[in-house]
């Protein structure tokens, strides 16, 4: 297959598997999405979705959040990990949203990334899922699969994002971001990977990946 044909195969296959795309993090508006994405750093969506209802029961707007202390926020979100940093970020960004943006979440990379504890990926997710702005947030699943499929050199997530935006149609960026994440979790994980279930990698993936997988799964001879 040519590179263009491989890209089309990925788009078609993902659309068949995920015609309706679930949103991983539970939220009700741009602010609760921003908080949920911030909390998901080095955690899991499942864990975050268990904790956000507890936090949002006490505070689901910036105005309500700043009435909580950093310590109170930290105690609530402790199970998601990195709670000292995340609690300060949540409280700090809530104050800034009130002071600079009338309590609203801004819509640009520059404004979002200037907020405490908000990096490029978090900003991209909020822009895409809260405001429908075409971005291509790259997480560990997308970074892994883009390399397995031979679409990027795996150097870093910045290069992976650049390659994804170059290869895929802009109109599909937000859908593909989520579809690839779900596919990575269900069919092409980092651990416990079964190439036979991973139709995309099996069909268009790097030969070196398939060879490495074969070597790992071949039974070893017993030495006597």
Closest C-alpha to 35, from 12, 53, 20, 11 = 53
Please say if 60 is a catalytic residue. Answer: no
169 secondary structure, DSSP code: -
Residue 116 makes CB contacts below 8 A (sequence gap 6+) with 88, 89, 92, 93, 96
The one catalytic residue among 139, 170, 175, 198:
139
Among 26, 12, 5, smallest CA distance to 204 is for 5
Q: Known catalytic residue: 139? A: yes
CA angle 178, 203, 221 (to 5 degrees): 110
Residue in the structure block whose two tokens are 């909020």: 126
Are 147 and 153 a contacting pair, CB within 8 Å?
A: yes
Give the CB-side neighbour count of residue 136, counting CA atoms within 13 A: 22
CB 39 within 8 A of CB 77: yes
Choose the catalytic residue: 121, 163, 198, 221: 121
- The catalytic site residues sit at 121, 139
């Amino acid at each position: 297959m040519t590179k263009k044909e491989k890209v089309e195969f990925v788009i078609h296959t993902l659309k068949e598997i995920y015609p309706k795309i679930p949103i991983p993090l539970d939220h009700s508006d741009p602010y609760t999405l921003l908080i949920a994405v911030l909390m998901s750093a080095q955690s899991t969506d499942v864990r975050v979705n268990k904790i956000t209802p507890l936090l949002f029961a006490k505070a689901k707007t910036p105005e309500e959040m700043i009435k909580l202390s950093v310590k109170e926020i930290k105690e609530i979100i402790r199970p998601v990990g990195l709670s000292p940093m995340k609690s300060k970020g949540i409280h700090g960004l809530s104050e800034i949203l009130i002071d600079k943006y009338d309590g609203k979440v801004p819509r640009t990379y520059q404004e979002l990334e200037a907020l405490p504890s908000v990096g490029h990926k978090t900003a991209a997710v909020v822009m895409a899922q809260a405001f429908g702005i075409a971005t291509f947030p790259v997480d560990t699943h997308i970074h892994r699969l883009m390399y397995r499929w031979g679409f990027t050199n795996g150097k870093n997530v910045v290069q992976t994002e650049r390659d994804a935006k170059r290869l895929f149609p802009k109109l599909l960026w937000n859908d593909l971001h989520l579809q690839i994440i779900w596919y990575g979790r269900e069919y092409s994980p980092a651990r416990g990977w079964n190439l036979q279930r991973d139709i995309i990698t099996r069909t268009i993936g790097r030969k070196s990946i398939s060879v490495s997988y074969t070597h790992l799964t071949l039974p070893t001879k017993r030495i006597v």
